[in-house]
């Protein structure tokens, strides 16, 4: 299934960053009550998560699938990663989207787009694609499947080197 999705993605040169701003992707919107997208992901991805009366995670344990680091301080040690980074999405076609679609993408809890990871790994990744940055090898299969699926769902382009590395990463998946 994921190989079919990968094969259906359009391979194209990246769009220019002209006009890009993270603000064009309204993120961490309210999901329910006082809980925003970040807090929902922290609660979903952590263990023993305790939230205060404003829904902020104040305790818990998070294991980053990118580097295996264990975090217990959600405000400083845990970031919510956009699997397909916002700037990468912009270069892949989101520059032509409406603000409403960019908001949906930046807060997507239905697809594997948001993940609690160590702050250090998220900053190392930045806005890079899989041909430029990769998580620890044991996570390649899950990572590449998620990346491909998000790009497929949102009809985003990929580059040739990106497709090549995604195929290599998908080769780590067992049948």
Q: Is residue 20 part of a domain?
A: no
53: which residues sit within 8 A by CB, 6+ positions away? none
Q: Is residue 21 part of a domain?
A: no
- The answer to whether the pTM exceeds 0.85 is yes
Task: Please write the tens of the pLDDT for every residue from 52-77.
Answer: 999 999 999 999 999 999 999 999 99
Cα 12 from chain centre: 21
Mean confidence (pLDDT) of the chain: 97
Q: Domain tally for the chain?
A: 1
Give the model's confidence band at 18: pLDDT under 50 very low, under 70 low, under 90 confident, else very high. Answer: very high
Residue 162 is part of which domain span? 2-14+27-170
Length of the chain: 175
Task: Please write the tens of the pLDDT for every residue from 101-150.
Answer: 999 999 999 999 999 999 999 999 999 999 999 999 999 999 999 999 99
The answer on pLDDT for 175 being more than 80 is no
**What integer is the mean pLDDT of 71-95?**
97
State residue 147 phi and psi, 5-degree precision. -60, -50
Could you give the CA distance from residue 61 to residue 124 in angstroms, rounded to a whole number? 21
Which residues lie across from 59 on neighbouring strands?
Answer: 50
Locate 69 and state its tokens: 């680091």
Given this model, what pLDDT does residue 174 score? 84
Q: Is residue 22 part of a domain?
A: no
Q: Is residue 78 part of a domain?
A: yes
Q: Is residue 92 part of a domain?
A: yes
Contact 152, 7 (CB under 8 A): no
């Amino acid at each position: 299934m994921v190989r079919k999705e990968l094969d259906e993605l359009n391979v194209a040169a990246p769009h220019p960053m002209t006009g890009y701003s993270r603000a064009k992707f309204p993120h961490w919107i309210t999901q329910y009550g006082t809980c925003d997208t970040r807090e929902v992901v922290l609660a979903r991805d952590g263990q023993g998560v305790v939230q205060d009366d404003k829904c902020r995670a104040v305790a818990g344990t998070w294991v980053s699938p990118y580097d295996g680091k264990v975090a217990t301080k959600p405000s400083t040690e845990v970031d919510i990663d956009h699997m397909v980074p916002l700037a990468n999405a912009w270069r892949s076609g989101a520059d032509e989207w409406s603000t409403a679609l960019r908001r949906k993408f930046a807060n997507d809890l239905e697809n594997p787009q948001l993940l609690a990871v160590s702050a250090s790994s998220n900053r190392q990744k930045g806005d890079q694609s899989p041909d430029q940055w990769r998580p620890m090898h044991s996570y390649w299969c899950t990572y590449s499947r998620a990346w491909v699926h998000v790009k497929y769902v949102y009809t985003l382009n990929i580059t040739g080197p990106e497709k090549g590395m995604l195929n290599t990463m998908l080769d780590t998946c067992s049948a």
